[in-house]
Structure 1
Amino acid sequence: MQEKNRNILIGSILMISGAGLSVVLTLVYGSVFGRSLEAYVGTLTADEAFAAELAASGMTLDAVVEAMQGTLTVLLVLAVLFQLVKIAVGVWGLRRAARPATAFVAWGAVFLALGLLGMMFSGVTSVFGLCDLAGGVLGPGLFLWGGVQNKLAFRRMLAAERAAEEQQADESAWPPVRR
């Protein structure tokens, strides 16, 4: 098990690059959306139904904008934290690609499920969709498959070592053991 699994290496690189690009795009799009939010809510006040509902709720327009910006900030922070975890797992995968760890399978399955969920919401036609495809589906899929390959190779290696030990024990036994 000295050689690193290429599927894990490629999956890790895809996860790191997809998540890194997704962090940058999340921050850029979030800041642009945050700036345009106040203007958008301002145009809503021209709608009589919205103005009446706003007056009935007792909230001011500034309170609505602050609530929406707070929600946007929380969602952006959660998205960035998730992508940073994906980057950390990708770096971990690059370093330990030769080891037969169950964590490859577990992290790959979790990120693959979340990546498929993200693909359902964003599609493939946007930049975020391409990031989800690379960093959320292809990367974790290769990560998962490489983890399964490492486990199988480790089991074969253990079986070969066990067979060699049994053969050596049989050869060194006195009196010789007949089968």
Structure 2
Amino acid sequence: MTGPAAIRAALPHRYPMLLVDRILTVSADEIRSVKAVTLNEPWYARLGEEPSKADFAYPDFLLLESWTQTAGLLATRSEEEPADGRTMLFGSMRDVEFHRRVFPGDVLEHHVRLQRAVNDTLVFEGSSRIGDEPVLTIGTVTVAFRPREQLDPEHAGRNSAPLTGSQRGEKS
């Protein structure tokens, strides 16, 4: 079992966006982690005096974020070379299904499996459960590592040319 210090060392996320509490098991191609959903999380601060039950539902995008952080933990472990100087980018997601809502008091268990690795690109699949009940199924998620200086010219030093408008995604 791996705790918060190792998770913080492996991921750049911090409060309130560090959404993995503990790693239960990890191997070269699989990981299981836990995320406990609590009412003290900042997304619940907006609730009024008389919220409905639906208002307490954990946001789907945070459920996905928590699962992908678990995939990120496996990705950094699966890399043959340390990720130093490189940034992990999440690409596409396919076949994502939400099976039920998550509420404060629920303890999520994320299961992530490395489907394949090609150079610096990894493909994962998996699910999230509360006990034996499925909450989320993910067919595939693609992750790629890229040199930080290619993504952030400011960190590349004086020899880097600034990005052009089209490289920044601007339309001409």
Q: Per chain length, whose mean CA-contact separation is higher, i.e. which structure has more relative contact order (CA < 8 Å, sep 6+)?
A: 1
Larger radius of gyration: 1
**Superposed pair shares fold, TM > 0.5:** no
With the shorter chain as reference, the TM-score category is under 0.3
Q: Which is richer in strand?
A: 2
TM-score (norm 1): 0.27
Of Structure 1 and Structure 2, the greater helix share is in 1
